């Protein structure tokens, strides 16, 4: 197209291309907001209808533009061939009048007139090609087509480029960082898993032990029964001790009464003096009543009247045996 439009300068061609690209960038937001986004979101049937009309118009416009460009290319090709024929004719005329002996000699006037006529035809062809309406139509339509096509392609390409941006420049580095953190945490996770396995084993053992144990309510009932039984045993022990004390008192009292009835007061006094107030007996009583004896003695000491009653009972029993 640049050759057909006589854009032979590299700077002009690049300026034309950059201008079309900038127009595409400017049209991209309008295309996305007005046509692409409503159709992608599926907001209404009107958006789909608008998208279908735009697509159809774009296809028709592209076909018409390609037809105009093809026709203009054909005109340019035909003009080039005609100019090549004119150049060959001029070259043949120059060869016919060329004198090797005088190369700088001007051609004859008739030949010079033919050459000038050919040059005027050559200039006319160039002028017709430049002023052709097909050239203007091809230039305008191609610019509009490339602008629309660029906007559509940018609308399609930017989401894909955004995905590649996240995939290559954000997700991969983040995955590398996460993998590095994961590798650093793997030993700790392994140790915690081992500890967790040990705790689970202990938990299973304790749960098994709990299943083997009786019901809590049954254990509470058994505990209450045992406490009641212990209480009854303590009560029986207390009653037994009371009965034993009463029986001991009655036995001692009975034996003492029997002794009082069997002997008179004088014999009782003499028996007491001879039995309890002798030197050896007093010494033994003093020794037995010392703090050390009391401290290290294991058997509890009887009270004086109990000891007297015990001795009288023993003497009375021995006298009866005799």
Question: Based on the domain organization, do 110 and 175 belong to the same domain?
Answer: yes
Question: Based on the domain organization, do 178 and 253 belong to the same domain?
Answer: no
Q: Would you state the structure tokens that stand for residue 68, as one six-digit string?
A: 């105009």
Whether 191 maps to a domain, the answer reads no
- The full length of the chain comes to 322
Question: Based on the domain organization, do 136 and 233 belong to the same domain?
Answer: no
Whether 4 maps to a domain, the answer reads no
| Cα distances (Å, whole numbers) of residue 69 to 137, 141, 145 | 8, 9, 11
Whether 197 maps to a domain, the answer reads no
The domain tally of the chain equals: 2
DSSP letters, 286-308, are: HHHTSHHHHHH--SPPPPHHHHH
Quote the CA–CA distance of 131 and 27 in Å, as a whole number. 30
| Cα distances (Å, whole numbers) of residue 250 to 236, 243, 244, 264, 301 | 21, 10, 10, 22, 20
Domain that holds residue 237: 220-321
Per-residue pLDDT of the chain (322 residues; tens, 9 = 90+): 555 555 666 777 777 777 777 877 777 777 777 777 777 777 678 878 887 888 888 888 888 888 888 888 888 888 888 888 888 887 887 777 666 666 666 667 777 777 788 788 878 877 777 777 887 787 788 778 877 887 787 777 777 777 888 777 778 888 888 889 889 888 998 999 999 999 999 999 988 887 777 777 888 888 899 999 999 999 989 888 888 888 888 877 777 777 666 666 676 676 666 665 566 655 665 555 544 444 444 444 555 556 666 666 665 555 545 4
Whether 208 maps to a domain, the answer reads no
The angle at the Cα of 37, spanning 36 to 43, to the nearest 5 degrees, equals 115
Question: Based on the domain organization, do 57 and 170 belong to the same domain?
Answer: yes
Question: Based on the domain organization, do 150 and 266 belong to the same domain?
Answer: no
Question: Based on the domain organization, do 42 and 178 belong to the same domain?
Answer: yes
Question: Based on the domain organization, do 25 and 107 belong to the same domain?
Answer: yes
Question: Based on the domain organization, do 166 and 21 belong to the same domain?
Answer: yes
Quote the CA–CA distance of 149 and 36 in Å, as a whole number. 13
Question: Based on the domain organization, do 117 and 266 belong to the same domain?
Answer: no
Question: Based on the domain organization, do 297 and 157 belong to the same domain?
Answer: no
Quote the CA–CA distance of 208 and 205 in Å, as a whole number. 5
């Amino acid at each position: 197209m640049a050759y057909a439009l006589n854009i032979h300068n590299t700077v002009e061609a690049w300026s034309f291309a950059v201008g079309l690209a900038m127009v595409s960038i400017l049209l991209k937001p309008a295309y996305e907001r007005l046509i692409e986004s409503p159709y992608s979101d599926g907001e209404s049937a009107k958006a789909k209808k608008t998208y279908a009309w735009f697509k159809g118009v774009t296809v028709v416009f592209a076909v018409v533009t390609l037809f105009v460009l093809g026709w203009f290319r054909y005109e340019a090709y035909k003009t080039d061939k005609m100019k090549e024929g004119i150049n060959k004719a001029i070259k043949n005329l120059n060869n016919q009048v060329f004198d090797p002996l005088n190369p700088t000699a001007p051609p004859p006037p008739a030949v010079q007139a033919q050459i000038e006529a050919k040059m005027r035809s050559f200039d006319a062809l160039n002028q017709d090609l430049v002023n052709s309406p097909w050239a203007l139509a091809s230039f305008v339509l191609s610019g509009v087509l490339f602008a629309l096509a660029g906007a559509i392609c940018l609308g399609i390409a930017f989401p894909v480029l955004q995905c590649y941006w996240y995939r290559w420049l954000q997700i991969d580095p983040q995955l590398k960082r996460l993998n590095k953190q994961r590798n650093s945490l793997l030993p700790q996770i392994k140790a915690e898993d081992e500890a967790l396995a040990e705790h689970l084993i202990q938990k299973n053992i304790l749960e098994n032990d709990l299943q083997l144990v009786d019901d809590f309510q049954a254990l509470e009932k058994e505990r209450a029964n045992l406490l009641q039984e212990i209480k009854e045993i303590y009560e029986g022990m207390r009653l037994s001790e009371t009965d034993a004390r009463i029986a001991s008192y009655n036995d001692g009292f009975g034996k003492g009464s029997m002794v009082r009835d069997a002997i008179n007061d004088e014999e009782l006094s003499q028996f007491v003096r001879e039995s309890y107030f002798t030197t050896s007996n007093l010494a033994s009583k003093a020794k037995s009543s010392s703090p050390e004896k009391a401290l290290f003695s294991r058997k509890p000491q009887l009270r004086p009247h109990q000891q007297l009653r015990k001795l009288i009972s023993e003497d009375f029993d021995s006298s009866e045996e005799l």
